[in-house]
Structure 1
Amino acid sequence: MLARATGFRAFLGLLQRDIWNTLRHELGGFLAQSLMQPLAFLFVFGLVLPEIGAVDEGYATQLLPGIIALTLVLTALQNVALPLVIEFSYTKEIEDRLLAPISPLMVGVEKLVFATGRSLIAALLILPLGAVILPDGLQTGGANWGVFALLLVVGGLAGASIGLVLGTSVPAKRINMVFALALTPLIFTGATFYPWQLLDSLRWFQVLTLVNPLTYVSEGMRAALTSSPHLGAEWIALGLGVSTVAFATVGLRGFVRRAVD
């Protein structure tokens, strides 16, 4: 019992240290990294294109949930993968963390929890940005905020789990190349800019998007915030649940292996 209590306090200590370090030294960089790309997408796709008639006026309503999902997943992914590569390869800070009286597995779990928390903040900030930028503001009269909150947590955890896999499996010298090759397909096959059901005429691409965990987060956000067409709730739950568990399992195993080595 004493060992468990000590481990829990150590876990909270690591989490508190990461939060405090963000507030003192990284807040501006975190916000810029997390919000610059979504801000550009909202402005161009949500304001400029409807204004010049390139898309329907209602497109922004379908776009906003996708941008929230994109911000959620990418923020979590980046806030695990990049620090891990640096800590394992350059600063060796991970060795300091492993001296804490908790198992290497729980050190990895702390990484997931912290990145998920950061992604929640970034995703929530998209709501006021959307209210200011989009022509019709926020159209969330029939929103299911309970489902929205659940998706924030699970979607953030999914992104963090993908980041853990990348951060523990990719050598430092190749991380830039892997990010360039992985992030673009992740962004554009994740139903971010289009509802999944509208891809019926491109069946092969519609099927391809189901491989991407971001698709289930985007479609879940549409289901929670709008009345737009979306993937069935049972498929969203299944796809997001399976992908999160799979990536978390692989990522944590990889983390423990790297930590022990």
Structure 2
Amino acid sequence: MSTQLTDTAYVITDAPEPGRTPTLRAVIALLARDLVVLRRQPGNFIARTIVQPLMLMFALGYVAPIISVGPGAAARATQAATVLLAGMLAMVVLFQGLFSVAMPLMQEFGVTHEIDDRVLSPIPVAAVAIAKVLAGAIQGLLAVVVAFPLARLVTAAPPQLHINWPVLLTLAPLAAVMCSALGLYLSTALDPRSVTAMMAVLLTPLLYLGCTLYPWSALGPIRWVQLLSLANPVTYVSEGFRAAVTTSDHLNLAAIYLALILGTTVLLYQGIRHFRRRVTS
């Protein structure tokens, strides 16, 4: 502890203590602050987690099978619920990654300028960006915990569950970090004046060409769409959850993990690079 005399007042500053890791402590503090905000304002989190994904499950997993007639209707209902469950988990992780990272960053850059206070802290600018991504990933994992049991109650027939715990416990955090890194990248790389419109345009192909409503193998008759979907990061999130919690066909696990690791690395690197450029310009 040291005391410095100025013309007007005494200013007390904390001298750094040996062995401490101020960057790590600062990142933890930033994470804690975001989680406190989440606890005090749960409405946005609940809306992102429940409304759209569960409405999709209700329409396609409950209404459609019930109004379906003919032989095999019960089996089709079970199959639909099984396929949609993995897609819905991918949706909630994507929504949390985009809207818990991208939207607050847009506000902090353009309206509140709260980001200025964060980057003025004595830690690397990259650590501020990483804290944002980790906070979004935690919200994505919480969304999976909330949405998973609710989805089982909405569908007309119970999905065929087969939980592979090693895959689920490793893939879910990786998918959450990748989707949050995607939110960081989009909010910092796109023109601030058009980022909302661009995200609205991008969200549709990300969701509906990301194998959320069908397994990747079902696209076999449309080969060009099947190949195109491999360029969509959400495909690997959907197929990964399909492998983790259901009995449906899915992509090879090695390909899923490789794509998620590469996607996370590229998006995080590019997101941090654009974030640094935005805060220093």
TM-score with structure 1 setting the length: 0.94
Mapped pair 1:122 → 2:143? yes
Equivalent position amino acid for 2:133 in 1: L
1:68-147 alignment runs, 5 A limit? 68-140=89-161, 142-147=162-167
Which structure is higher in helix share?
1
Equivalent position amino acid for 2:98 in 1: L
Equivalent position amino acid for 2:32 in 1: Q
Q: Which runs of 5+ in 1 are unaligned?
A: none
Match of 1:16 in 2: 32
Percent identity between matched residues is 37
Other structure's SS at 1:127 match: helix
**RMSD (CA atoms):** 1.6
The 1-side partners of 2:254 and 2:31 are apart by: 33
Match of 2:240 in 1: 220
Other structure's SS at 1:117 match: helix
Match of 2:261 in 1: 241
Query: CA deviation digits over 1:85-115, x for unaligned, max 9?
Result: 1111111100011122211000000000000
Match of 2:82 in 1: 61
Match of 2:274 in 1: 254
Q: Tell me, yes or no, if the aligned pair for 1:127 and 1:138 is still in contact at 8 Å.
A: no
Q: Tell me, yes or no, if the aligned pair for 2:85 and 2:151 is still in contact at 8 Å.
A: yes
Q: Tell me, yes or no, if the aligned pair for 1:85 and 1:171 is still in contact at 8 Å.
A: no
The 1-side partners of 2:113 and 2:66 are apart by: 50
Q: Tell me, yes or no, if the aligned pair for 2:101 and 2:136 is still in contact at 8 Å.
A: yes
Deviation at 1:17, TM superposition (A): 1.0
Mapped pair 1:37 → 2:52? yes
The 2-side partners of 1:125 and 1:23 are apart by: 14
Kindly name which structure, 1 or 2, has the bigger radius of gyration based on alpha carbons.
2
Deviation at 1:139, TM superposition (A): 3.0
Stretch moving more, 9-18 or 198-207? 9-18
Deviation at 1:138, TM superposition (A): 4.7
Aligned length: 259
Mapped pair 1:28 → 2:43? yes
Q: Tell me, yes or no, if the aligned pair for 2:49 and 2:147 is still in contact at 8 Å.
A: no
Q: Which runs of 5+ in 2 are unaligned?
A: 1-16
Stretch moving more, 102-111 or 128-137? 128-137
TM-score with structure 2 setting the length: 0.88
